[in-house]
Amino acid sequence: GPGGAAGGGTLFGSGTAASPAQAARVLEGVRAVAPGPVINAVELAAPAQVSLEVLISEVSRSVANELGIDWSVDLNPFADVTEWVWGTGVRLGTGALQVGRVFEQTVVGVEETTGRLLFEIETEELGTQLPAPRGGEGGIVLSKTHELNSGKYRLTGFLDALARNGLVTVHARPSLTTMSGEPAEFFSGLEVPVPAITDRGVVGTEYRQTGVGLTFTPTVLSSEQISLTVDAQVRELALGGTTIAGAQVPNINERSAATTVELGDGESIAIAGLYRRSTSSSDSGVPLLKDVPLWGALFRSTAERDDSAELIIVVTPTIVAGVAGLATAGVAGLPAAAAAARRIGNEFHY
């Protein structure tokens, strides 16, 4: 295993570590022995591979405002286990129209011999009325899908439920695999020809990408933790343009967001707030009368509509191979045996 040695006033760390976190602990231990320069010769075992499941969707801003969607939902599944809502559905409004299926669980006890938690499960089917979301406010409560064979929780069921009801447009669902510490890229869109002026004043053509570009860089910290850097860019053609040397160069709007987060194996991060803004208007009124000069304004009306849309990106990284001694990752707050959960009657045993 990894360790340290000293020689000639220089500290030396060597060996093989199963993860970057273990390597960091070794170096901290070496530095704790004595101050001074440290040569880091600790090697990592076979590099881990990370699978990235991505969902790229777009929701109308007007729909989001009407439903009261809040994307800043606490993603900790056991923050309040007695009121935790999970499943493939959502709650809409104070009348609580349900889309899909929602499960509610309550801790009913602890198994004496194993100490495992016992949950009682209640199921609400499509079309039934549910109580108002926690806090008594309207809007959508984000739900999570529980996979019994892996103990992981996913956010995509929420967006899938909206898509099935025409409230969300799903653009792409790529699945990428990359080595720990290496970037993975995804692009969906078009390459638009744009006039370009050379140094000699000659008009040529170059291509610029318009669409959605994503770059992910996952780093495996341990058998259960992943650091994920996400860089999202959205480019689209805008109205108008600029004339340079007689050539019309189109305007391209660009929006971007970048973040680095630490996630558990199989947990998800949602990126929202990338808007595409547009408006439209329509006239209506009484035929003939609405066209009368001056007085026609009394018989017609103009309606303006906000067609802006918000881009929602959900990323779920999962460790797939490479870290020596990977153990089955349990859910926070439960034993590792949660991955082998089984249903008995209306209870889930972990």
Per-residue model confidence as pLDDT tens digits over 39-64:
666 666 666 788 888 888 887 766 66
Q: Average pLDDT, whole number, for the chain?
A: 63
The answer to whether 4 touches 14, Cβ cutoff 8 Å, is: yes
Residues 141 and 36 in one domain: no
Residue 155's domain comprises: 49-323+334-349
Place of tokens 């009348």: 95
The size of the chain, in residues, is 350
Whether residue 162 sits in one domain with residue 104: yes
Same structural domain, 216 and 164: yes
Q: Which residue has the tokens 């309606």?
A: 303
Both 112 and 225 in a single domain? yes
Contact 37, 10 (CB under 8 A): yes
74: helix, strand or coil: coil
Q: Is residue 337 classed as helix, strand or coil in its secondary structure?
A: helix
Between 207 and 157, residue with greater pLDDT: 207
Q: How far is CA 275 from CA 2, 119, 289, 312, in A?
A: 49, 40, 39, 9
User: Which residue(s) pair with 192 in the sheet?
Assistant: 208
The answer to whether 348 touches 121, Cβ cutoff 8 Å, is: yes
pLDDT band (50, 70, 90) for residue 189: confident
Q: Is residue 329 part of a domain?
A: no
- Quote the percentage of the chain above a pLDDT of 90: 1
Strands 347-349, 342-344: pairing is antiparallel
Mean pLDDT of 73-90: 35
- Shared domain check, 203 and 86: yes
Full DSSP string of 314-331:
EEEEEEEE--TTPPPPPP
| φ, ψ of residue 268 in degrees (nearest 5) | -120, 155
